[in-house]
């Protein structure tokens, strides 16, 4: 078994990197994969909160790097999936406590025993971002359908290409089909047109995502959630399956309203 | 052997930090020599901003990325790479590093004076946000120029794609320079010292040429076949 190392990044902050990591990791674990998440946001950790594992942290990634514990000891087992682990970031240190070669070494140690290693990159394009992409086999860029988020995503894609990390795949997060229909939001086509990279998923705006993050229970486990379905689809695509994209078109009329109301569309 | 290595790299203070000047030797030796000098005096280099003059050395993206990471682990930040090689210059620009330090070297100026009207930099990719391409001649892009990117040419700029970033042609004052693109929806265009914001609404894309007209204003017009046959 040799794990694929996937880094989730965005350039801009607040577009949903951490939420995407937590949901994809849970979705992969639901399919029986062995998954290790790494929080790359040293000093501003929150993947542990979104995964609901905050109170179990004893050691963190900086403890591993500085030799205070073994890698195994810093891996926190998930509450629901015994094959899902989190390596938390240190909250009281900064990005300089980790170097790109540290990340490469940790991922090399994890590879033999996992199917997927998912790294949550911090926002920005500085040291923390470089640490996070150092070991990546594949990079997912998360963006929102907003001009500023797309421009930052474009910058990140340019850096990844310049550093010969290969072309990343794109997740468009928090798309609101009603706003798109009324021309009040960039459409998925507009975003793809500018970035020119391969799309791996569109996640519709869904308030259950926020509720799930606050509860530490990622929405992907909710079979009725549209966003959860989108994340489950992305996880299938990461496993090499060909899953058709969801139909996000707004339904008109009473029937459409009923479908939307019941969340079944 | 150690002394030999040390003499390959000269380090001196400049206005913007430290400047490392490299002798003519294989890149691997130069790299080792630079890191050795830093490791000998870690306190001196702590937190330093480093510029490198690499001469004719041809450096690929991986070379510079490796070195930048190794320097960053030693708390030295690489901000500029000055080179006579267009390949290296291009690499540095792709990585967002400066390619000139405050005082241009005399030989650099001489090289610019030799550039003829027929020199062009050909870029076969999309120019993404945050990338700045500068060239002392014409620039041809086969790809899009995205918002947040900048292209600065002393001559003309031709883009086989959409322009949504900033383009400056005739940057050293050539008012005959032109900017052509398949879709010129740039946020801003400049030719010599003329500046034009939003030229037209981004609907109905068509090939256009921007130039300075007889009244001395920057103007874009639809491309028409000159001699219909």
> Would you tell me how many other CB atoms lie within 10 Å of the CB of residue A71?
18
Contact between residue B80 and residue B99 where contact means Cβ atoms under 8 Å apart: yes
pLDDT tier at B99, thresholds 50, 70, 90:
confident
Three-class secondary structure of residue A63 per DSSP = helix
| pLDDT of B116 higher than 70 | no
Is the CB of A163 less than 8 angstroms away from the CB of B95?
A: yes
For the record, the structure tokens of B11 come out as 């380090």
CA-wise closest residue to A102 among B69, B45, B31: B69
Contact between residue A1 and residue A115 where contact means Cβ atoms under 8 Å apart: yes
| pLDDT on residue B24 | 85
- A71: left (phi > 0), else alpha (psi -120 to 50), else beta? alpha
Q: What residues contact A231, with CB distance under 8 A and at least 6 apart?
A: A20, A23, A24, A27, A201, A203, A218, A219, A220
Q: Which of A73-77, B183-187, B222-226 has the lowest mean pLDDT?
A: B222-226
Report the length, in residues, of chain A: 265
Is the CB of A154 less than 8 angstroms away from the CB of B129?
A: yes
Per-residue pLDDT of chain A (265 residues; tens, 9 = 90+): 699 999 999 999 999 999 999 999 999 999 999 999 999 999 999 999 999 999 999 999 999 999 999 999 999 999 999 999 999 999 998 888 999 999 999 999 999 999 999 999 999 999 999 999 999 999 999 999 999 999 999 999 999 988 888 899 999 999 999 999 999 999 999 999 999 999 999 999 999 999 999 999 999 999 999 999 999 999 999 999 999 998 887 655 555 555 555 554 4
More confident of the two residues B206 and A239: A239
Three-class secondary structure of residue A196 per DSSP = coil
Three-class secondary structure of residue B62 per DSSP = helix
Q: How far apart are the first and last CA of chain A?
A: 39
Eight-state DSSP code of residue A168: P
Chain A environment of B164 (Cβ under 8 Å) = 194
* Burial (Cβ within 10 Å: 0-12, 13-18, ≥19) of residue B118: exposed
E strands along B91-227, which residues?
120-123, 132-135, 138-142, 150-153, 157-163, 166-169, 179-184, 188-191, 194-197, 208-212, 218-222
**CA A121 centroid distance within chain:** 9
Is the CB of B69 less than 8 angstroms away from the CB of A100?
A: yes
pLDDT tier at B192, thresholds 50, 70, 90:
very high
B87 to chain A, closest Cα gap in Å: 13
Q: Chain B within 8 Å of A176 (Cβ-Cβ)?
A: no
Q: Which of A96, A155, A170 to mutate to test the interface with B (most CBs of B within 10 A)?
A: A155
| pLDDT of B42 higher than 90 | no
pLDDT tier at B3, thresholds 50, 70, 90:
low
| pLDDT of B202 higher than 60 | no
A102 to chain B, closest Cα gap in Å: 10
Report the length, in residues, of chain B: 229
CA-wise closest residue to A135 among B31, B122, B69: B69
- Report the alpha-carbon distance of residue A72 to residue A113 in Å, rounded: 11
- Report the alpha-carbon distance of residue B178 to residue B194 in Å, rounded: 12
CA–CA distance from A79 to each of A119, A214, B170 (Å)?
A: 20, 16, 63
- Report the alpha-carbon distance of residue B78 to residue B65 in Å, rounded: 10
Q: pTM of the prediction?
A: 0.73
| pLDDT on residue B8 | 86
- B195: left (phi > 0), else alpha (psi -120 to 50), else beta? beta
Closest CB to B65 among A152, A157, A163? A163
Q: Which domains does chain B have, with CATH numbers?
A: 1-112 (3.30.70.260), 115-229 (2.160.20.70)
| pLDDT of B101 higher than 80 | no
CA–CA distance from A7 to each of A88, A157, A173, A193 (Å)?
A: 15, 13, 16, 23
pLDDT tier at B109, thresholds 50, 70, 90:
very low
Give A145's Cβ-side CA count (13 Å radius). Answer: 26
Residue-number span of the structural domain to which A52 is assigned:
4-262
> Would you tell me how many other CB atoms lie within 10 Å of the CB of residue B90?
18
B162 to chain A, closest Cα gap in Å: 10
- If one counts the domains in chain A, the total is 1
Provide mean pLDDT across the span B31-52: 88
Q: Packing angle between helix A207-215 and helix A17-30, nearest 10 degrees?
A: 80
| pLDDT of B111 higher than 50 | no
**Residues of B numbered 79-138 whose beta carbons fall under 8 angstroms of chain A's beta carbons: which are they?**
94-96, 125-131
Contact between residue A6 and residue A136 where contact means Cβ atoms under 8 Å apart: yes
Which tens digits make up the pLDDT trace of B143-163?
A: 999 999 999 999 999 999 999
- Provide the mean pLDDT of chain B: 84
Q: What percent of chain B has pLDDT over 70?
A: 85
CATH (domain of A73): 3.40.50.300
């Amino acid at each position: 078994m040799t794990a694929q190392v996937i880094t989730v990044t965005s350039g801009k902050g607040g577009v949903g990197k951490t939420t995407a990591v937590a949901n994809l990791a849970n979705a992969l674990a639901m399919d029986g994969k062995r998954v290790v998440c790494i929080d790359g946001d040293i000093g501003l950790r929150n993947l542990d909160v979104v995964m609901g594992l905050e109170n179990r942290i004893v050691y963190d990634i900086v403890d591993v790097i500085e030799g205070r514990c073994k890698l195994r000891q810093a891996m926190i087992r998930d509450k629901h999936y015994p094959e899902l682990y989190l390596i938390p970031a240190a909250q009281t240190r900064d990005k300089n406590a980790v170097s790109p070669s540290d990340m490469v070494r940790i991922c090399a140690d994890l590879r033999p025993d996992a199917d997927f290693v998912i790294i949550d990159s911090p926002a920005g394009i500085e040291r923390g971002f470089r640490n996070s992409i150092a070991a990546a086999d594949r990079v997912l860029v998360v963006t929102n359908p907003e001009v500023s988020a797309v421009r930052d995503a474009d910058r990140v894609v340019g850096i990844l290409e310049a550093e010969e990390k290969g072309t990343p795949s794109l997740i468009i997060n928090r798309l609101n089909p009603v706003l798109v229909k009324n021309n009040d939001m960039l459409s998925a086509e507009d975003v793809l047109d500018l970035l020119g990279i391969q799309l791996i998923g569109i996640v519709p705006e869904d308030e259950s995502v926020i509720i799930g993050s606050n509860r530490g229970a990622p929405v992907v486990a909710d079979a009725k959630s549209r966003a959860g379905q989108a994340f489950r689809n992305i996880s299938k695509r990461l496993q090499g399956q060909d899953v058709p994209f969801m139909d996000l078109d707004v339904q008109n009329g009473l029937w459409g309203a009923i479908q939307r109301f019941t969340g079944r569309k | 052997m150690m002394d030999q290595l040390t003499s390959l790299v000269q380090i001196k203070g400049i206005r913007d930090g430290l400047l490392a000047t490299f002798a003519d030797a294989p890149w691997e030796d130069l790299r080792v020599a630079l890191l050795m000098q830093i490791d000998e005096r870690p306190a001196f280099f702590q937190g330093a901003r480093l510029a490198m003059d690499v001469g004719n050395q041809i450096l690929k993206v991986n070379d510079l990325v490796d070195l930048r990471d190794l320097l960053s682990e030693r708390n030295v930040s690489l901000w500029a790479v000055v080179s006579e090689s267009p390949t290296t210059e291009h690499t540095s620009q792709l990585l967002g590093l400066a390619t000139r330090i405050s005082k241009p070297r005399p030989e650099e100026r001489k090289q610019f004076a030799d550039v003829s009207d027929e020199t062009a930099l050909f870029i076969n990719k999309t120019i993404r946000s945050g990338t700045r391409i500068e060239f002392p001649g014409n620039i041809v892009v086969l790809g899009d120029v995205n918002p947040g990117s900048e292209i600065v040419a002393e001559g003309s700029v031709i883009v086989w794609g959409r322009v949504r970033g900033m383009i400056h042609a005739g940057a050293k004052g050539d008012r005959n320079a032109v900017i052509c693109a398949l879709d010129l929806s740039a946020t801003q265009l400049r030719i010599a010292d003329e500046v034009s914001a939003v030229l037209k609404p981004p609907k109905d894309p068509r090939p256009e040429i921007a130039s300075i007209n007889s009244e001395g204003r920057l103007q874009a017009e639809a491309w028409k076949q000159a001699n219909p046959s």
